[in-house]
Amino acid sequence: MPDVSHDIRPSEATAAEVKRRAIASRRAADALLREHPDAMVFAQSSEGHIVPVPKTLGLEDYPVLAGEGRTGLDLCVAEDRMTVVKAWVHVKSEAVAEARARLRSDPNIWRTVRMLDLRNTHGVILSFVWIDEPSPETAGREFEPPSSTTPRFCSRKQDREGNVIECDAAYLQMFGYATEQEVIGQPTFERVHPDDQARLIESWITMVATGRVQMSRVRIRRQDASWLWVDTTYHNYLTESDGYVLAECIDVSAEMAAQEALQDREELLRRLLEEMPDGLLQLDRERNVVYQNARLREILCVARVHTNMDRAGTNRAPELQLLLSALPEDARRAFDAVVDRAMNEGARENVELELTLPELESRHILAKVRPLMRESGEVTGVIASMQDVTDSARARRELEQRACFDALTGSLNRSSIIAALEVELAASSKPAVVYVDLDRFKGVNDTLGHAAGDEVLIQACQRMSGAMRENDDLGRIGGDEFLILLRDVGDLPTALRAAERISESVRGMYELSGGSLELCASIGVACAGEAVASAEELIELADTAMYRSKQQRHGAPVLA
């Protein structure tokens, strides 16, 4: 079978790959839904917001989990959010992840959340949610959160060892007990969350030793094994032989849930910012660094910037100049100017910076600087995202090189040398041009081959460049034809002398890979004057003079 792989264009291969991935994504979704036909689906953007499920997936017939505009974290109970955050970070790097969590709308039931990264094909991360088997921790009991009618305030009495000796009805309701007998004699410390026990014991010992009122915020296990955050105030009514401690409790679970949700969001945001491919930098009005991620330091080629401690003991922002220390002075000035305009004028600008380090290839960094504004329009600082665009900058330079220079000889190409001549004519500098045509070059190609012809062209350019002044330009305008732009010549004799140097440099023996040969060139010279209106006219005059030189068969330059 013939190999036709070279006939496939890159765009066609890319389109085929996208189509293949789309089919694979749909098959993976279908397989999950066949295995879990009662599963619900929802889609999220790269930032975590719930968005409509793409119609291209063809999942219109399946139940969609409501929540558009919110994040996936908003759907689950606070205790399970960290698990979901870890799965979210995992799916963005590994394309698939799974977590177990409970929905806020139905906290009694554990569910499995399977995430698929379909951003390359459909622009979303797709999640499937189905009811899971009861977990070992919750098997045999139900999770019953406090109802809206549960009181928020209660009290209990404890003996010197912390055992409950009396409680009010509100205490029984808050902690899910039916009768006081279930509570009397309970060692309260054992029902405190392990992470909070040391804090509570310290408060208790201080209260007993000093007699002063003490307060603590801890999680206490309810009868259904769920945890309830409470603020407890301890009043010491102990005597040497009797007495009690009065504990007044306030339910702060709603406040703590809000705090945990905020912490979860902050943790998610922190992880997302650290995983971003861009470096991020936030500055306040005084140009103190408010935030910088690890990718920024990697792009700027600086080690981790350690924050200093001020006299009050709080962290001070790292110096901006330390972060930018690897940038050369002109790049720092350019970045500072863009930041100034963002701070003072609210300007939104991009600037490309070149970073050069000893023994390393220079890197190009694209900095996008945007002002941070309040609703009133006041600028409170700036945020800058930085991308390493070295590869694209290199590609751009290569394109510019190809657009301006001859690929074989490295001299200017036809359009570039003519453009340079037009600039000189417009400036009225009275330039001259030298038109060079290598004699008997066609025979080189015919007898020795095109590789030998290429060697001749390269050597001829090198010889001519060596005979030119620094401010003159050499361009290749045809197969073996070259044009030399002489700037600020002044008169015809000067131009002729320059042409004679060019002629002598080209004339002689050429050592090639396949042998040696002798060549010379026919040369025509033309100077700009009042009668010359354009670059093409001046080149045509030099071309005509070159043909007269060729007819003379001496290789001597001829003036137009």
Q: Each residue of 456-485: pLDDT tens digit?
A: 999 999 999 999 998 899 999 988 999 999
- Asked whether residue 194 falls in the same domain as residue 77, the answer is no
Query: What is the percent of the chain with per-residue pLDDT over 70, rounded to a whole number?
Result: 88
Confidence of residue 35 (pLDDT cuts 50, 70, 90): confident
In the chain, the number of structural domains is 4
Residue 146: pLDDT over 60: no
Structural domain of 161: 153-256
The verdict on residue 266 lying in a domain is: no
Residue 290 lies in a domain: yes
Average pLDDT, the chain: 83
Between 430 and 465, the higher pLDDT residue: 465
- Same domain for 221 and 296? no
Residues 422 and 535 in one domain: yes
Average pLDDT over residues 36-52: 87
pTM of the model: 0.41
Instruction: Based on the fold, state whether residues 291 and 240 are members of the same structural domain.
Output: no
550 and 419, same domain (yes or no): yes
- Statement: residue 271 has pLDDT above 60: yes
Average pLDDT over residues 374-384: 90
Distances (CA, A) of 250 to 157, 232, 234, 326: 15, 6, 12, 55
Residue 14 has pLDDT above 60, yes or no: no
pLDDT of residue 150: 73
pLDDT above 90: residue 97: no
DSSP state of 76: B
**Residue predicted with more confidence, 20 or 420:** 420
Structure tokens that stand for 476 in this block: 């290749």
Q: Binning pLDDT at 50, 70 and 90, where does residue 359 land?
A: low
**93 and 191 belong to one structural domain:** no
Are 74 and 100 part of one and the same domain? yes
Residue ending a domain, among 393, 414, 441, is 393
For residue 62, the 8-state DSSP code is: S
Residue 414 zone, left/alpha/beta (φ > 0; ψ -120 to 50; rest): alpha
In a domain, 50, yes or no: yes
Give me the DSSP letters along 413-479: -HHHHHHHHHHHHHTT---EEEEEEETTHHHHHHHH-HHHHHHHHHHHHHHHHHHS-TT-EEEE-SS
The pLDDT of 61-80, averaged and rounded, is 75
| Residue 284 and residue 429 in one domain | no
541 and 441 co-located in one domain: yes
- CA–CA gap between residue 127 and residue 99 (Å, rounded): 11
The answer as to whether 197 is a domain residue is: yes
235 and 121 within one domain: no
Q: 131, 165, 197: which is the final residue of a domain?
A: 131
CATH number reported for the structural domain that contains residue 226 in this entry = 3.30.450.20
Let me know whether 126 and 198 are in one domain.
no
Q: Are 445 and 552 found together in one domain?
A: yes
Higher per-residue pLDDT: 335 or 24: 335
Greatest mean pLDDT range, 296-300, 387-391, 411-415: 411-415
Q: Is 538 a member of any domain?
A: yes
Distance CA 181, CA 255 (A): 31
Q: Give pLDDT tens digits for 188-203.
A: 888 999 999 999 999 9
Task: Indicate whether 383 belongs to any domain.
Answer: yes
